[in-house]
Amino acid sequence: MNIQDLVAIDIHTHAEVSCRHPQDDYGKEFDEAASKYFKFDHRPTVLETVAYYRERKIGFVMFPVDAEFETGRRRVPNEEVAEAAAENPDIMVAFASIDPHKGRMGAREARRLIEDFGVKGFKFHPTMQGFYPNDRMAYRLYEVIAEAGLPAIFHSGHSGMGTGMRAGGGLKLEYSNPMHLDSVAIDFPDMPIIIAHPSWPWQDEALSVCMHKPNVYIDLSGWSPKYFPPQLIQYANTQLKHKMLFGSDFPLITPERWMKDFETAGFRPEVQPLILKENAAKLLFGKK
């Protein structure tokens, strides 16, 4: 990835539609609820997303979400995302997603994806996957990720998935309290942990964990910056300016909308380049 040629690096985009396999319509009510919540209706394929970001000169990290245990719905294959990144290294980085309920088999898959497909990180969604991040069940996966020195992104806070559905689709918000990541950061101090999204209603917990643990970061995806809590902007401008990362949550939110609102949300001019690109470049590649 040629960092100098990029406007920004979006560290949080979703692989929603496979180019190789038919869409699994089981559980499509979750898609319908998310579309209503985020007010969007187009789910691009992996390759459509590549073209979209290349046109805008924005690098991006993409991942599927493996919630097969909790939802019964097939994921977009990790291999497809990884191969797309290998074919488009100028613009794309692949993260994988493995349901922690897969145990030792999941740990084997993680090692194979790292060694044979070159994935650069992993995505977890505790609410969708139905687990507490500090549940020892997940530690087999974390051990493989930490051994490779790769980052792990964890959804935090409220979830658009299930919002408005009967019983919230059966998804438990409590799994995504960022305070559960505090003990994970202790047990895996060399695994970078990215707390995804403004963590409402637990924003202060996320800021505290990020400030206290050197290996913890926050990505700012999933919300328009004009709705960010004031304490998030305050800490992004000061003590945590090197630990905040641009993420959109594409296709749920577009990078254009996010970046437009970011300009007027109260972030200091000298901090904006850090958040948009430099912090992610250092985390992902060890450089500006």
Q: What is the pLDDT of residues 105-128, one digit of tens each?
A: 999 999 999 999 999 999 999 999
pLDDT tens digits, residue range 62-83?
999 999 999 988 899 999 999 9
What is the residue range of 74's domain?
3-285
d(CA 65, CA 187): 24
At 162, the pLDDT band (50, 70, 90 cuts) reads confident
What is the average pLDDT score of the chain?
94
CA distances from 59 to 51, 56, 92, 254 (A): 11, 9, 6, 13
CATH code where residue 36 lies:
3.20.20.140
The 10s digit of each residue's pLDDT in 16-53 is: 888 787 776 766 777 777 777 777 777 899 999 999 99
> Cα-atom radius of gyration of the chain, to the nearest Å?
17
pTM: 0.95
Q: Pick the closest to residue 160 from 32, 12, 25, 288 (CA basis).
A: 32
Whole-number Å distance between alpha carbons of 41 and 32:
9
Examine residue 251 and say whether the peptide bond preceding it is cis (omega within 30 degrees of 0): yes
Residue 288 binned pLDDT confidence (cut-offs 50, 70, 90):
low
The total number of structural domains that make up the chain: 1
Least-confidence region, from 18-27, 124-133, 200-209: 18-27
120: closest CA among 139, 99, 92? 92
